[in-house]
Amino acid sequence: MKTILLPASGADTARRAAEIIRQGGLLGIPTETVYGLGANGLDENAVLNIFEAKGRPQDNPLILHVSGPEQVERFCHSIPPAAYELMDRFWPGPLTLVLPARDNVPRRTTAGLDTVAIRCPDNDLTREIIRLAGVPIAAPSANISGKPSPTTAGHVLHDMDGKIEAIVDGGPCSVGVESTIVDLTGEMPRLLRPGGITPEQLRAVLGELIVDKAVVGEVSPHEVVRAPGMKYTHYTPSGEVIIVTGTGISAARYILPRLGDHDRVLCYEEELGLYPPEKALAYGREQEPETLARGLFAALRQLDSAEIQTIYARCPSGGGTAYAVANRLKKAAGFHIVNGEEET
């Protein structure tokens, strides 16, 4: 199969893209978070092809992308008032809600669960494609399973060339990390994955929010977790990632004596001067966590090379967007964290 690139500015891009979805094909779609690998979410065979193209375990459910909140009642039931409040406040945007699924949602899409994850992406063209297709688009991130999510059409092409019909090129993603996931099927709203909508923003609407343990720590592959995707290794370049905490100076004091020819530093722009230029890559500014979110996955991809053995990474702390960045980076590191202040 020859994978074609459809430019966002193309006059008939939306129509051609919608046609691919209607015919059961696979399509790379831009969203504000990361690129998705989309197919008709109501077509079991098309959905099966998503799992195959990604090499994704079949027990890991997909997110259903809809063109607006009015679509949700078609696919979900027993929708609590909190869901309407969140949709009203944050859609279209980087927030996914887990709700009870109606029977018209194939269990292939939900990986056998009777709940479904649903979101309305903040990308006009992608919402237009969903509207024209007349079906919701099931889409995981468009990376090979286990690799960093794609934030440009080029990343999608790198991972999916020859495996999918087309990629809609919508330019670089504005958020850069995947959507926040909130489970509204339990007694209390539960954060399953931090993302572009922060815990602080959610609490302002919901009052209370439980943070699932998969967000904060490592989960063993045998544990039952609420977001099945959280138990798999993720975002991993081929080298080993080690997070070094502490001040910029103390981290450099830890890293520099250990930095071999095949090692690299993934740091903030503010810290580039501390390292040999050919060994360091900045993924954004510490003082502006949104830039870290936008740059993280592209940087991890750039460092994904068999030549590179160890990647010493600087990881932001605190709430807001930094919380989502830290979550992805800790997963990439398999929660391998050393404190630069203590270990020099």
Residues that bind ligand TXA (CB under 6 A): 31, 33-34, 36, 60-63, 94, 96, 98, 110, 113, 115-117, 121, 139-141, 178-179, 181, 192, 226-230
CA–CA separation, 216 vs 230, rounded Å?
A: 11
Closest to ligand TXA by CB, 181 vs 282, is 181
CA–CA separation, 317 vs 106, rounded Å?
A: 39
With CB under 5 to 8 Å by kind, the binding choice for 31 among Mg ion, ligand TXA, none is ligand TXA
Min CB(29)–ligand TXA separation in Å:
7
Closest to Mg ion by CB, 178 vs 286, is 178
Min CB(246)–ligand TXA separation in Å:
30
Number of residues that bind Mg ion (CB under 5 A): 1
Q: What is each CA distance from 95 to 67, 168, 192, in whole angstroms?
A: 14, 22, 11
H or E segment to which residue 62 belongs:
none
With CB under 5 to 8 Å by kind, the binding choice for 120 among Mg ion, ligand TXA, none is none
What's at 93, amino acid-wise?
G
Min CB(115)–ligand TXA separation in Å:
4
Min CB(140)–ligand TXA separation in Å:
3
Residues 252 and 262: beta-carbon distance below 8 Å:
no
Min CB(178)–Mg ion separation in Å:
6
**Angle made by CA atoms 153, 335, 141, in degrees to the nearest 5:** 20
With CB under 5 to 8 Å by kind, the binding choice for 110 among ligand TXA, Mg ion, none is ligand TXA
Taking phi first (over 0 means left), then psi (-120 to 50 degrees means alpha), and beta for anything else, what does residue 134 get?
left
Min CB(204)–ligand TXA separation in Å:
21
Confirm or reject binding of residue 141 to Mg ion (CB under 5 A): yes
Going across the sheet that includes 137-138, the strands are 4-7, 166-169, 27-29, 36-40, 137-138, 63-65, 115-119, 95-100, 180-183, 190-193, 210-211
What's at 226, amino acid-wise?
R
Q: Which residue has 């197919």 as its token pair?
A: 39
Q: What tokens were used for 20? A: 């691919």
With CB under 5 to 8 Å by kind, the binding choice for 63 among Mg ion, ligand TXA, none is ligand TXA
Q: Which stretch binds Mg ion (CB under 5 A): 52-60, 74-82, 133-141, 191-199?
A: 133-141
Closest to ligand TXA by CB, 63 vs 298, is 63
Residues contributing to the site for Mg ion (CB under 5 A):
141
